[in-house]
Amino acid sequence: MPDLAIHAKGLTKRYGDTLALDGLTLEVVRGEVFGFLGPNGAGKSTTLKLLLGLIRPTSGTAEVMGTDIANVVEAHRRLAYVPGDVSLWPRLTGAECLAHFAALRGGVDGPYRDELIERFELDTSKRTRAYSKGNRQKVAIVAAFASRADLLLLDEPTSGLDPLMERQFQECVGHARERGQTVFLSSHILSEVEDLCHRVGILRDGKLIEVAAVDQLRSMHATVFEADIAGPPPKLSGVEGVAAVERTPTGLRIRLDGPPAALVRRLGEVQLTGLRAEEESLEEIFLAYYGDGAPARDDAGT
């Protein structure tokens, strides 16, 4: 059995008649960067709160770094958390907040914390009541990464950051991965997940519907062809593998679920001036899962 950072079995949370999380079964291996995808309201934050022990499950169990989530104090010794909307003590400066976080943990990597403050261009002399949302996020990110915790639970961590700071965050995740830390990244920024993660899980309406490597997830779906055509376009109905066709200013955009041979033969019958093929982006794959008829898995573990 693999060495697991997160091990959830049938984790469920109800709020009255509302089912926020439905039987989550998930394994995250130590040392991997795992992306947790889903739109707002899918159950991502509920999952994080359960793993942190901030709320109790209605049913099911979970462990983080080998510790049952019911044992909150012990579990928190091994993890750090960045929420999507950070609240700080308004009368304290950024430096005082970071010092307080370090004291709560019993110490952090001070030199690395100083490096992170500089990299994120964080003015720690200001009181946090004067901070923007992005600067509050920076405080939480610096505190989490400086902790060198075995497990980083990150819930929309780059919310409010500009693109340059997002890049700094991505480099921090890369360094954490190199050190063997585990990163559980809950996000709706698909390019972020695509760049950083080994595997992704897709959550829909509180239920995990897929877990796969990023490359594997792409391979499950279609190739998109952009065909530039001079003259009338060909008729593609009935051509093997063609799932959808859209008109473009220069020709056709074709979504292909099967082998390309039949499509290429048909395109060879017209005056083709250009042909480009590309994989669907993770965003297109993600949207496909949320379309009508997307199946929910009964068991979406590894």
Q: Which residues touch 42 (CB under 8 Å, ≥6 apart)?
A: 203, 204, 205, 206
Q: Which helix (H) or strand (E) holds 201?
A: strand 199-204
What domains, with CATH codes, occur in the chain? 4-218 (3.40.50.300), 222-279 (3.30.70)
pLDDT confidence of residue 1 = 53
pTM of the model: 0.80
For residue 109, the SS3 value is coil
For residue 302, the SS3 value is coil
Please give the span between the terminal C-alpha atoms of the chain, in angstroms, as a whole number. 11
pLDDT confidence of residue 291 = 62
Residue ranges in the chain modelled with pLDDT below 70: 1, 218-221, 282, 288-302
CA atoms of 241 and 170, how far apart (whole Å): 37
pLDDT confidence of residue 103 = 95
pLDDT confidence of residue 164 = 94
| 190-226 pLDDT, tens digit each | 778 888 999 999 898 999 998 989 887 766 667 889 9
pLDDT confidence of residue 297 = 42
Residue 280 main-chain phi, psi, to 5 deg: -60, 145
